[in-house]
C-alpha cells in the first residue's frame, strides 16, 4: 500500500521544485520551506545589479552567503554600516532596519535566508532611500 504523504507533518522539497518569485527588493527568490514560526528562501542577484532599499515591518532575517561577492548596507536608528559579502558570511537584518545590497562580482550573488516569522507577503517590505541607485 502506498504511503499517503498528505498526512505527514513535514515537507521535503528540492530547490528545483521551489516556487520562484521576484522579491520587493528585486532579487530572484526560491521559497524553500516554511513552518508556523519561520521560512527559508534562497535568493540571487545577478552580476552588476543593485537591489532596491527596503525595510521589513514585522520580520527579521538571518542571511548566509553561498556564492558571489558584493556589499550590504544596513541602517537602524543611528547605526549604519556597509558590510562586504562573500561566501561563508552570515549576518542579520533586524526588524525595521533599512537595507540594500549589490552584486560587485562576475557571478550571481547567492544567499540563503531564514525569515522569522514566515514572510507574510510583498506588503511587508517598505521601500525607501538607500545608499546606491537601484539597478534591477
In a domain, 43, yes or no: no
53-94 tens-digit pLDDT:
999 999 999 999 999 999 999 999 999 999 999 999 999 999
Handedness of CA 129, 121, 48, 63 (dihedral sign): positive
126 versus 1: the higher-pLDDT residue is 126
Q: Is residue 73 part of a domain?
A: yes
Residue 130 placed within a domain:
yes
**16 assigned to some structural domain:** no
Does residue 116 sit within a domain? no
Q: Flag whether 131 is in a domain.
A: yes
Residue count of the chain, please give it.
136
24/4: higher pLDDT: 24
Asked if residues 14 and 92 have their Cβ atoms less than 8 Å apart, the reply is: no
Residue range 25-62, pLDDT digits in tens: 989 888 888 889 999 999 999 999 999 999 999 999 99
Residue 113 in any domain: the answer is: no
What cell was used for 67? 556564492
Q: Is the per-residue pLDDT at 2 higher than 60?
A: no
Structural domain containing residue 81: 48-85+97-105+125-136
Domain-located, residue 37: no
Residue 129 to residues 31, 35, 43, 89, Cα–Cα distance (Å): 27, 32, 22, 25
How many domains does the chain fold into?
1
Amino acid at each position: 500500500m502506498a504511503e499517503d504523504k498528505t498526512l505527514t507533518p513535514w515537507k521535503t522539497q528540492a530547490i528545483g521544485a521551489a516556487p520562484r518569485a521576484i522579491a520587493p527588493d528585486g532579487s530572484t527568490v526560491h521559497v524553500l520551506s516554511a513552518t508556523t514560526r519561520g521560512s527559508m528562501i534562497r535568493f540571487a542577484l545577478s552580476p552588476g545589479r543593485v537591489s532596491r532599499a527596503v525595510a521589513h515591518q514585522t520580520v527579521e532575517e538571518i542571511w548566509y552567503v553561498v556564492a558571489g561577492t558584493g556589499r550590504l548596507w544596513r541602517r537602524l536608528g543611528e547605526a549604519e554600516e556597509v558590510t562586504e559579502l562573500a561566501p561563508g558570511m552570515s549576518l542579520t537584518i533586524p526588524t525595521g532596519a533599512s537595507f540594500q545590497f549589490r552584486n560587485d562580482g562576475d557571478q550571481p550573488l547567492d544567499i540563503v535566508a531564514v525569515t522569522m516569522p514566515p514572510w507574510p507577503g510583498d506588503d511587508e517590505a517598505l521601500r525607501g532611500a538607500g545608499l546606491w541607485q537601484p539597478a534591477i
